[in-house]
Structure 1
Amino acid sequence: MASFADKVRGAQPQHLDVEDLPVPKIKGNMPSIKLPKKAVERGRLYCRYCLVGRLDTQKMRMDEIRSIAAAKWSPQGDWKIIPLGKGFFIIRLTTESDWRNIWGGGPWRFGEQTLRLSKWTPDFNTEVHTRTNALIWIKFPKLGRQSLGL
């Protein structure tokens, strides 16, 4: 049986046999299809070195983000930034070393913003993502070198 990806990849046939495609079902109130295990594994391999980033894209265009990323990270392998909406984007890398350099580096400043990074997960959804971070500065009055006896 051919997968949907196999059907749309390469030269298009004149006739697409819909019977070869997975049959959609309703789960709860959402349509769903069951993907073949091979297709799921291909997707996981494709996203193996992905990160999710977030910036205020009202203040910075995606082409600026890509340009700054290229200058800061100088990735050795192929890479791309794929917008997801609501300021989120996937940073898709093809090498583990690039992934480690970006994930373990930083903080990454893009203009006046700090890039927020998280590890990609298969269930990431911009509609329900609630994690927020804020950089804060805390000052403790009278807690200095003199008060510590240093």
Structure 2
Amino acid sequence: MDSFTIPWPCLDSSAKKPNTDFPKPTTQKSFAEAVNNVCEIPASQLPQACVKGAELAITIPEKDYIAGMEACKHNLHGRIVWPKGATPLTVVALKDKLALLWKDLGRWGMLSLGKDYYEFAFSSLEDVRRVRSIASWSLNPGILKLFAWTKDFNPRTQQNCSAQVWVRFYGLSQEYWRQNILFAIASSIGTPICTDAATAKPLFERTFGQFVRVLVDMDLTQIIRYKVLVERQGFAFFVDLEYENLPDFCTNCNIIGHHLNNCKRIHANNENHATKEQGIVKKQARETKKTYVQTKDGRVDQSRSKFMDDGNENSGKAQEEDEDVIIVEERIN
């Protein structure tokens, strides 16, 4: 017998029964289960706080601090200089932009420290050298400047006083064009980062030999040297230094961005000092004015009126004496 299909599903006994299984309710996690980074160290093993003077003090475990220093050995600090009117990017957007520039690197990460400062963690020393070989990275908008990692870094107290500068070395013959020698000379003025492509070429491929070019991370609070004495066994000579695009640095504020001649703080202090000097001069140059104060009010004393006649000639003299005046010097404010 040929099978046929019943057009009315309600009469078909072989129709699939509806699924009556309801999803099981999810159990809510407890607070201890949700927070997986709770402190598991017994309170008895934690250091005890103490009061030193008026402040509370605590001593941290030195072993863990050393481990933290070891974990940061391939880290760098960086600062992004945003152009005026530009909207700063989020950390995720910055990382996406840098991922296109650093696509050949190994694993790396970044985090925001505040005040446009960032910290970068790299997986190898070679990656650190590669990213520092470029003085600044263009983010369009903004420029990322990387500098060496330092312990106890605090963005709130950080003053931007270091810069990566290309330095030219004049007076070096070809036997000195070796990386260890060049970096040794560059270390006298800062932290050497790399040489340019022309300097790094092998001797047979080198076509330029007028000067050496080394990228140096310089602390601008130090004295800028324009020559250095290079010594070897039995011989010494001077090497002239020339800096390319050395940024303006204010020795009064200890920050990069303006020169000492354009320091607003100095101009403000000079104006305040000039105002104070003008006030002192005005106070010293106060003029004196003579004022006349009447010693008597002109009224005749009653005791004297008994002995004076109306026609007495001395009455006129007595009246003149009553009108005597004295001179008093009074300063004008």
TM over 0.5: yes
Could you tell me which residue of structure 2 aligns to residue 126 of structure 1? 155
User: Equivalents in 1 of 2:135, 2:71: separation in Å?
Assistant: 24
Which of 66, 82, 88 aligns to 1:59? It is 88
Question: 1:44-91 CA deviation, whole Å, 9 max, x = no partner?
Answer: 111101111112494222112101111112253321101111111100
User: Equivalents in 2 of 1:28, 1:87: separation in Å?
Assistant: 35
In structure 2, relative to structure 1, the CA distance for the partners of 1:37 and 1:106 (3 Å cut) is same
User: Quick check: which one's strand share is greater?
Assistant: 2
Which of 97, 111, 115 aligns to 1:68? It is 97
Output the amino acid matched with 2:117. F
Structure 1 range deviating more: 46-55 or 98-107: 98-107
Output the amino acid matched with 2:142. Q
Structure 1 range deviating more: 32-41 or 80-89: 32-41
In structure 2, relative to structure 1, the CA distance for the partners of 1:21 and 1:65 (3 Å cut) is same
Q: CA RMSD in A?
A: 3.0
Is the CA contact (8 Å cut-off) linking 2:135 and 2:145 kept in structure 1?
A: no
2:96 aligned counterpart, secondary structure: helix
RCO greater where, 1 or 2, for CA within 8 Å and sep 6 or more?
1
Structure 1 range deviating more: 115-124 or 54-63: 54-63
Is the CA contact (8 Å cut-off) linking 1:75 and 1:98 kept in structure 2?
A: no
User: Equivalents in 2 of 1:20, 1:44: separation in Å?
Assistant: 23
1:105 aligned counterpart, secondary structure: coil
- The reply on whether 1:19 has 2:44 as its aligned counterpart is yes
Structure 1 range deviating more: 68-77 or 52-61: 52-61
User: Equivalents in 2 of 1:72, 1:81: separation in Å?
Assistant: 14
User: Equivalents in 1 of 2:139, 2:49: separation in Å?
Assistant: 42
1:127 aligned counterpart, secondary structure: helix
1:131 aligned counterpart, secondary structure: coil
Could you tell me which residue of structure 2 aligns to residue 100 of structure 1? 129
Is the CA contact (8 Å cut-off) linking 1:78 and 1:94 kept in structure 2?
A: yes
Could you tell me which residue of structure 1 aligns to residue 65 of structure 2? 40
Identical aligned pairs, as a percentage? Answer: 24
Which of 112, 120, 131 aligns to 2:141? It is 112
Q: Shift of the alpha carbon at 1:24?
A: 2.9
TM-score of the two chains, using structure 1 as the length reference: 0.69
Q: Shift of the alpha carbon at 1:136?
A: 7.8
Q: Shift of the alpha carbon at 1:31?
A: 4.3
Structure showing greater Rg = 2
Q: Shift of the alpha carbon at 1:126?
A: 0.7
User: Equivalents in 2 of 1:97, 1:50: separation in Å?
Assistant: 12
Gap regions ≥5 residues in structure 1: 1-9, 138-150
Is the CA contact (8 Å cut-off) linking 2:74 and 2:121 kept in structure 1?
A: yes
Paired residues in the alignment total 127
Could you tell me which residue of structure 2 aligns to residue 146 of structure 1? none
Q: Shift of the alpha carbon at 1:108?
A: 0.7
Q: Shift of the alpha carbon at 1:103?
A: 1.5
In structure 2, relative to structure 1, the CA distance for the partners of 1:110 and 1:136 (3 Å cut) is farther
